Structure 1
Amino acid sequence: MALVNISVVIPTYRRPDLLRKCLEAILAQSYPKRLFEVIVVSDGPDTETEALFPELQKQHPDIFLTLHTQPARRGPAAARNMGWRKSSGELIVFTDDDCIPSATWLEEYWTAFQHSNQREIALTGKVAVPVPDRPTDYEKNVAHLATAEFITANCACTRSTLELTGGFDEDFPTAWREDSDLHFKLLERHIPIVRVDGALICHPVRKAFWGISISDQRKSMFNALLFKKHPHFYREKIDPAPVWRYYVIILSSVAALAALFFGADLLFGLAGIVWLVATASFIALRVRGTDKSLSHRLEMVITSLLIPYLSVYWTLRGAWRYKVLFL
């Protein structure tokens, strides 16, 4: 292979239609094709993705496009590590298979890197998340990517930076907090992070299944790992304090049930009022400014009744698993 300046690394798993759109945007970059490579890493055996590559390689023989496959599923952090360690470029650019980079994406990154004149540096681009004026709760949450400081959907690091930090922590087995961990390692080592607004990607919001916020609560377990590794930055940039609202809801419901069992009517009434007010305010917070459809409102009410209990369960399970005092 000829020497390249940039290596693009994309983790994926059984999403060939999304990956194709991402790759088509990258293969149409304004940056000289002979100067960058694209490395896709499948997080486990994936015949659908494998079938995609012969066609693309035949259509674009002037671009270095390769696919690597992990023997078993280990998560996007491990896939990205495999990708950058097999790469050749001086600058490694990361994105996800559900993102669509702009035509000048790589050119903007390379120009910013050259102007920095630094061997150890990270860069972060701009993320556009198109959502309706009244998004669903899920769409609203995804839209927060547009204001994130540093996410793997659109970032770049020099090879020496990744070698110094060790890259991504593979103890994060899912697409949650592994990018924050790298971000915090960069901050701890005082490695500059340069904002490159011209390096734009579009992150469309995929259709979510009903009640997705319930299954998403499992991610709270990995907040504990991030807190254990970077307590100061976690409180500064993620959550300044525990979500006390959840604990109020849980404790008041437990107190109400205990009061009912022991026949303490006054305590039952007081605890019930606290639970009702705290739960109602949580529901109101989630529905504010979102889709007004009846199905969405029902989803918000039902999931809001469950989320505090599930979130705290997974949070405490993470605290136990990672041996850290974390609420």
Structure 2
Amino acid sequence: MNARAPLISVVVPTYERPDLLERCLAALLRQTLAPDDWEILVCDDGPSPQARAVAQAMSARAGGRPAIRYLPVSRTQGPAGARNVGWRAAGAPVIAFTDDDTLPEPGWLQEGLEAMASGAEAAVGTIVMPLPPRPSDLDRDAARLEQAEFATANCFVRRDILEAVGGFDERYTLAWREDSDLHFALIERGCRVAPAPAATVVHPLRAARFAAGIGMQKKVMFDVLLYRKFPRLYRQRIRSGPPWFYLSVCAALLLALAALLGGWQRLAMAALLLWGLLSLFFFLRRLRLSAFTLRNVAELLLTSVLIPPLSVFWRAVGAARFGGGLP
């Protein structure tokens, strides 16, 4: 046990990825910060013997310096709740957040602390997501995390500020918009968020199952929650208006179906043609910058048809669940 409190606590939420967790912890143990100055809290969102064993093995490998604590999380579901368990159990005045699939650079914590030393309430580092030579549309979409204004894959927040804003909103049960929610809460409180460009984590892309973008549309309902809580900031920093393109695609498809049921064949064919042209435009726009491979083309064809109606559907689900208007 450390004789004094650490300067910074690292919170790492994890869920059923012991191999990635081990890789992340191995990278963390290469930090240049003195071992007694920091600690790691592994927050297991689906408590498992495998994750516990990884945390214990890495702690033994480090000789207990820095301390690595395993925290099972069963009361909530999702990374927001897991991070809350972590920072509330932390012993340091500054909390560093990253994910179990990242590789923090050796100077990550040192650079983060230096950024916080300026008196900022929070700081954001650099996320690097290397793309393969022939990236798919899904790869390019995932790599947009590099441009995120505030992401929990690489950020630092004072513990007292987390207490003041209540931490993460645990209604975000998927890894989506919970970091923007905290960022907006900090902004509304007048907190200063400092840049820490030298505090770098590498975030390797992970292989995704075919047409993974279909299931990812469920996350859109959390845009509704974020919009309900912070409408002004959402319009300024996320989206300035409704998703008119998706709504147009859905309107054309619904008109075609209604016309068919009503026996208006010409109107149905015209609406169906409009829907097909809009879907083709969406497909070609996404294909233009991504890999021209059989898998990617097939994936884009399927998802270009399904994403607009699914996105609108999950927005409606979000509105029903969280109330308020649609973003």
Aligned mates of 1:325, 1:286 — CA distance in 2: 28
Shift of 1:235: 1.2
Q: Which amino acid aligns with 1:186?
A: L
**Partner Cα separation in structure 2 for residue 53 and residue 196 of structure 1:** 28
Match of 1:191 in 2: 191
Residue in structure 2 matched with residue 40 of structure 1 by the alignment: 42
Q: Which amino acid aligns with 1:282?
A: F
What displacement does 1:263 show?
Answer: 3.1
- Show the counterpart of 1:302: 302
* C-alpha distance in structure 1 between counterparts of 2:46 and 2:307, whole Å: 31
Report what 2:55 is aligned to: 53
Question: What is aligned with 2:5?
Answer: 3
8 Å CA contact 1:165, 1:186 repeated in 2:
yes
SS at match of 2:324: coil
The residue identity in structure 2 corresponding to 1:159 is R
Q: Residue 89 of structure 1 aligns to a residue in which SS?
A: coil
Structure 2 Cα separation of the partners of residues 279 and 306 of structure 1: 9
- 4+ runs of 1 displaced by more than 3 Å? none
Does residue 1:23 correspond to 2:44, yes or no? no
- Which amino acid letter does the alignment assign opposite residue 40 of structure 2? V
| Unpaired stretches in structure 2, ≥5 consecutive residues | none
Question: What is the alpha-carbon distance in structure 2 between the residues aligned to residue 286 and residue 318 of structure 1?
Answer: 26
In structure 2, how many angstroms separate the alpha carbons of the residues matched to 1:54 and 1:323?
43
Q: Are 1:134 and 1:289, in contact at CA under 8 Å, matched by a contact in 2?
A: no
Displacement of 1:264: 2.3
Q: How does 1:104-183 map to 2 (within 5 A)?
A: 104-114=107-117, 116=118, 118=119, 121-183=121-183
Once residues 18 and 259 of structure 1 are traced to their aligned partners in structure 2, the CA distance between those partners, rounded to angstroms, is 51
d(CA) in 2 for partners of 1:70, 1:158: 22
Please point out which of 49, 66, 71 is paired with 1:68. 71
Provide TM-score, normalisation by structure 1: 0.96
Tell me by how many angstroms 1:46 deviates. Answer: 1.1
1:184-228 deviations in whole A, cap 9, x for unaligned? 011111100101110000000000000100000111111111110
Partner deviation per Cα, 1:291-322 (whole Å, 9 max, x = no partner): 11012101100111111111111110110111
Residue 254 (structure 1) aligns with: 254
Distance 1:81 1:211 in 2: 32
Q: Distance in 2 between the 1:263 and 1:52 partners?
A: 63
Question: Is the CA contact 2:21–2:54 (under 8 Å) kept in the aligned structure 1?
Answer: no
CA-CA distance at 1:248 after TM superposition:
1.1
Unmatched 5+ residue regions in structure 1?
Answer: none
Residues 283 and 301, structure 1, Cα contact 8 Å, conserved in 2: yes
In terms of mean alpha carbon deviation, does 47-56 or 209-218 score higher? Answer: 47-56
Q: Distance between the aligned counterparts of 1:6 and 1:78, measured in 2?
A: 20
Which residue does 1:315 correspond to in 2? 315
* SS of the residue 1:174 aligns to: coil
Match of 1:77 in 2: 80
Shift of 1:155: 0.1
Matched residue SS, 2:223: helix
Given the alignment, which residue of 66, 86, 90 partners 2:89?
A: 86
1:46 partner amino acid:
S
Q: How many residues align?
A: 324
What fraction of aligned residue pairs are identical, expressed as a percent? Answer: 39
Shift of 1:257: 2.1
Q: Which amino acid aligns with 1:134?
A: R
SS in structure 2 opposite 1:305? helix
On the 8 A contact 1:43/1:72 being kept in 2, the answer is no
Moved more, 62-71 or 143-152: 62-71
Q: Deviations over 1:2-39 (max 9, x none)?
A: 31101000000121110111111111100111100111
Query: Which amino acid counterpart does residue 236 of structure 2 have in structure 1?
Result: E
Deviation at 1:161, TM superposition (A): 1.4
Measure the CA separation in 1 of the matches of 2:205 and 2:212.
13
Alpha-carbon deviation of 1:266? 3.3
Aligned amino acid, residue 204 of structure 1? P
Paired with 2:201 and 2:227, the residues of 1 have a C-alpha distance of: 29
SS in 2 for 1:8: strand
Determine if contact 1:43/1:74 at 8 Å carries over to the other structure. yes
2:292 is aligned with 1:289: no
Cα contact 1:126–1:154 (8 A) shared by 2: yes
Say if 2:169 and 2:181, in contact at 8 Å, map to a contact too.
yes
Q: Is the 8 A contact 2:80 2:172 kept in 1?
A: yes
Using the TM superposition, give the Cα deviation of residue 53 of structure 1 relative to its aligned residue in structure 2, in angstroms.
2.5
Aligned-partner Cα distance in 2 for 1:301–1:255: 22
Q: Find the residue that maps to 1:157 and give its secondary structure.
A: strand
